[in-house]
Structure 1
Amino acid sequence: MAIPASITGRNALVFLAVIAGGAALYWMQDILTPLAMAVFLAVMIDSFARVLIERVPRFPKALALPSAIVLSIGMFAGAVWVVTSNGAEFVSQIRDYAPRLNEVIAKVASLVGIKVAPTIGDLINQLNPSKYAGAAAQSLQNFASSAILVLIYLGFIIASRRGFSRKIVALYPHHAERDGAMQLFQRIRNGVEQYLWIQTVTGLMIAVAAWVVMMLLRLDNALFWAFLIFVAAYIPIIGGAIGCILPPLFALVQFPDSFWPALILFGCLELIFFVVGNVIYPRMQGDSLNMDPTVVLLSLAVWGALWGVTGMFLSTPLTVAAMLILAQFDGTRWIAILLSEDGDPSGDSLNRRSPGASGKSPPDKKTGAESSSRQKSTKGA
């Protein structure tokens, strides 16, 4: 069957537009990544505000947004405290870990048949850490400047949110177009909020269970490792690997006389991630995001290549938003269909309100039209 030239040209144009858009995203990553993080944080704060209004009895609506901002700042301060206090203790213990690490290296070398095992000092000298000192300092400087930009963007986004409705009215003077635009915005917002809610709850489950296991095994800095596991849970696939591998490796260093603590910790972490990832997570997620699992992995690689760690962190919300936007146009709907899990990328499942809301879905227009037609026919009869 011959394919019309118009369809071929349109698909080729869409393909070239995707490549050009990816190049623009990569070229402007220093500008766009702080803005994307600020938008993500603004959605999170807005979700907190609506949770306070709808879940807390008689909570003043005027105090919802300021309370959500204070709550977010408190959570950020708590995270900084966990990292600084436990991280400083962890760094101070590295000196004590050096002899133990040499023992672990010697055991591993004997297992693989190496007669003269290198020490940790020899390995560090071979790596030549002075080469990476400048890059590490530059990375810290970039992180600090990006954090300041994120806070600046966030402040302006929160300050300008009141004028959003007026802009929508000016952009879409007709009610039908305006309703469609608002519905698309609500679908994107609900998708991001559902993803944030699910990842936060499952990440807390994994982190608390891992903390209990590490406390039972008396692993040093258990709270620090639990916090890192919770943060890594927001990165699909890679976060689980980091959470399962790093703590057992340091258990080998802390307990050089026996491999059993590290093996027990590794087995318990694998069991925790398996239960949460294969039993609890699918039940909570259902078909809300409607993303193919292969697309989740592919989006992680693509956004990670474009925006680094920030892209990995935001890969799923950005892909959900892109899928919903592409589904609105005939020329790009085929891309949204490929990204979706069930072939219906319209986002009907995201019409349900987010976990922080009351759970009532908006009424179906078609149903309302049918009911009004029935009433008219009844009156005519």
Structure 2
Amino acid sequence: MDLKSPTAKAMIMLACLVVVLAGVKAASAIMVPFFLSAFIAIACSPLINWATAHRIPRWASITLVILIILVFGFLLAGLVGQSLTDFKENLPSYREKLDNEFAWAIDRLAGFNINVNRELFTQHFDPGMAMSVATNFLSGMGGALSNLFLILLTVIFMLFEADSMPSRLHTALADPEMKMKQIDRFISSVNSYLAIKTVVSLATGLIIGTWLYIMGVDHFLLWAVLAFLLNYIPNIGSIIAAVPAVLIALVQYGLASAGLVALGFVLVNTIMGNMVEPRLMGRGMGLSTLVVFLSLIFWGWLFGSVGMLLSVPLTMVVKIALESREESKWLALLLSSNAERDANRLS
């Protein structure tokens, strides 16, 4: 085989990619805390830059941000941990009530000559499994945060080094005169995306939590945190977050309340996802729905629950990196939700 042929080059690149991915997966115990640290540092950096612009020393602003993260983190971890424990204790009774509700629905359908095999239905569709998936996701996140001290130290060092990182990248890529605008655009785009997404996700979680509290849904804080985390996954994240809360409302109060809870999720995610977020972020960051779903599977396989949470931010980093080089722009267009619009933007 001619090693200079396009086919041979493609096969070599794929082989190298497989080796790299295997190494990353083997080192996931180290990579996951690093990605979480980078995620937190990038999300916090705009606040620190704002404080620095108002003549607050950088060390003081970083210390203040870390203290805020610690205080709210420990408070939230205590509340969510207790709520998660209570929910796991009540899960068998929720499963039993859900089974009864679905059995009643099957009997009602039979009255309209729509016969559903109850055994086959319960064998292939377990409504309680949706709630178990949600709690397993939160438990996985808790396991990833077990290295809290290491993550915090890494975040602190990243924040202190953030100012010098752009110039280091320029020097490393042999651009001492700072002519490569793609590097600056890459850093700015990732920073803006994660910061805006964090603010929008936080607002979504607060509104959802307030709505569930008003509706009297059990473990409303748990579902609010889940809505906050899964809002980083557009299109399908809000659906996954809504399912357990709607099922709990169905068990507690019946079909009408479950419908109101679902309506609240739909309204909040429609307003935040289709109106607020595009207005803040602009329209140049879209990923296609298929890419979002595939990235969820891929990063989840690679890094577990943390990979699912960061699937879209990580894919956005890849997309922005591909856009920054002329020879890889076509790959970025394949990831886009609107290739024609992005092609005009990149031209």
- Give the deviation of 1:65 after TM superposition: 1.4
Distance 1:238 1:308, change over 3 A: farther
Q: 1:230 and 1:262 mapped to 2: Cα distance?
A: 20
Total equivalences in the alignment: 323
Which stretch shifts more, 289-298 or 194-203? 289-298
- Give the deviation of 1:83 after TM superposition: 0.1
Which of 308, 313, 316 aligns to 1:320? It is 316
Instruction: Tell me which residue corresponds to 1:254.
Output: 252
Instruction: Tell me which residue corresponds to 2:45.
Output: 46
| 1:69 matched to 2:70 | no
Deviation string, structure 1 residues 16-61 (Cα, Å, up to 9, x no partner): 444443333333323322221122122223333113234xx44333
| 1:336 matched to 2:332 | yes
| 1:107 matched to 2:104 | yes
Larger radius of gyration: 1
Distance 1:62 1:241, change over 3 A: same
- Give the deviation of 1:80 after TM superposition: 0.6
CA contact (8 A) 1:45 1:72 kept: no
Which stretch shifts more, 161-170 or 14-23? 161-170
Distance 1:156 1:307, change over 3 A: closer
Q: 1:174 and 1:266 mapped to 2: Cα distance?
A: 52
Q: 1:44 and 1:347 mapped to 2: Cα distance?
A: 25
How large is the RMSD of aligned CA atoms in angstroms? 4.1
> 2:207 is matched by which residue type in structure 1?
A
Instruction: Tell me which residue corresponds to 1:367.
Output: none
| 1:26 matched to 2:25 | yes
Residue identity over aligned pairs, in percent, reads: 23
> 1:72 is matched by which residue type in structure 2?
I
CA contact (8 A) 2:323 2:346 kept: no
1:227-306 residue pairs with structure 2 within 5 A? 227-255=225-253, 258-289=254-285, 291-306=287-302
Deviation string, structure 1 residues 204-235 (Cα, Å, up to 9, x no partner): 34333333433343223333322322222123
Structure having the larger proportion of residues in helix? 2
Q: 1:174 and 1:193 mapped to 2: Cα distance?
A: 21
Q: 2:175 and 2:198 mapped to 1: Cα distance?
A: 39
Instruction: Tell me which residue corresponds to 1:195.
Output: 193
Q: 2:322 and 2:64 mapped to 1: Cα distance?
A: 35
- Give the deviation of 1:188 after TM superposition: 3.5
Which of 142, 152, 155 aligns to 2:150? It is 152
Q: TM-score, normalised by structure 1?
A: 0.68
Q: TM-score, normalised by structure 2?
A: 0.73
Which stretch shifts more, 190-199 or 289-298? 289-298
- Give the deviation of 1:81 after TM superposition: 2.8
Q: 1:333 and 1:95 mapped to 2: Cα distance?
A: 51
Instruction: Tell me which residue corresponds to 1:369.
Output: none
> 1:189 is matched by which residue type in structure 2?
I
Q: 1:36 and 1:280 mapped to 2: Cα distance?
A: 27
- Give the deviation of 1:271 after TM superposition: 2.8
Instruction: Tell me which residue corresponds to 1:175.
Output: 176
Deviation string, structure 1 residues 122-172 (Cα, Å, up to 9, x no partner): 99xx9xxxxx9xxx8xx96x8666434464255146337549558558635
Distance 1:24 1:263, change over 3 A: same
SS at match of 1:175: coil
SS at match of 2:304: helix
Distance 1:28 1:223, change over 3 A: closer
Distance 1:335 1:288, change over 3 A: closer
Distance 1:155 1:245, change over 3 A: same
- Give the deviation of 1:315 after TM superposition: 1.6
CA contact (8 A) 1:326 1:335 kept: yes
Instruction: Tell me which residue corresponds to 1:353.
Output: none
Q: 2:144 and 2:203 mapped to 1: Cα distance?
A: 30
CA contact (8 A) 1:52 1:64 kept: yes
SS at match of 2:234: coil
> 1:312 is matched by which residue type in structure 2?
M
Instruction: Tell me which residue corresponds to 1:376.
Output: none
Q: 2:26 and 2:269 mapped to 1: Cα distance?
A: 36
SS at match of 1:209: helix
